[in-house]
Structure 1
Amino acid sequence: MLRTCLSSLGCQEEDSRIGTLSITKVFQKPYSVAKARPQVFNGEKQMSRPYTGVPSFKGLFLLGVIGFGGYAIFSQFSSKNWPEVTGKVTSVDIEESSYRSSRYSRRYEYTPVVHYVYLVDHVSHEGQANLRSFDYRSEAMNYASNLYAKGTHLRVLYNPNHPNFSSLHRSAI
């Protein structure tokens, strides 16, 4: 079989056994998979995009926001009717966290963390609560030491179904 190709016309094939000549055009422009093609549905022309098999970032982001929001609302509602007991502060730590405030600088936040113990049905439980954040470590220390000094008694709300889950504040909802 003899094959001759020209750049603009295509290719010619000649089979010496049969003596036939066929011309095939090889320079056809193939469809791109990523391009949208119009389709007709119920007499209306609509553009459709091919499914790539990858979920969109917007969809995943929306799902995350809904999930996180649902959890936050649920946890706020659930502590509204929790019973309370008296607890005792065992220690206060200051957590330092940093974030980038601009391209070349970092900012730091200082969050007091109160550790406490409480009794439910003669069983001791430990809990911790993160307080509000401050820009300076000294502010965080002053706030925590004034309100939550070691040995201070405080009101602890606990989940009656799971007494190891606790909170220091009732929800506003």
Structure 2
Amino acid sequence: MMLATLGTAFLAGNVAATPQAAPPAKPANPFQAQVGQLGVRKCANLFSALGQTVALGSDYAGQVQTEKAAPDAHGVVGVVGMTYKTAAYNSQAAGVVVATPVGTKCEGQLVRVAPFQRACKDVVALLPAGSTAAGSLSGVPLYILGGNQGQAMLIASGPACVVVTIARGADVG
């Protein structure tokens, strides 16, 4: 049995584009700040970019973990709870962000789960421009999101629709 000693940090932020009256000082990018506290350097920028993407437009809080003894030799994982208050979506969602060293670079993924209180046929209109149907996975519709934004699965749940968004990222250069 292998046990890992995990370093854990908590993050909170608001990436909504709305002005606020003198909020308490928060780091410009809580994802970057938290991985920095855990000693992650190698995949910090990718993790931060994926985190900002998964939480875009929301108030959020999360938890970040990595291998405490060797943070740059192992992946970093964040779980994020989000609250959206927009015209198109006013509810809660959840996300997972992962960045892992691969050779001299890093690769990562994000997954966001957002339940909509409307039918999936109505949610399709909210997908980014240029999104296309890519078939189904065991009856679950799969879409390629426009603008190279990843994929989305639309899962019907009674009269509601749960949207699972998946995207990949990698260090470039």
Is TM more than 0.5 here?
no
Q: TM-score, normalised by structure 2?
A: 0.23
Q: TM-score, normalised by structure 1?
A: 0.23
Higher helix share: 1
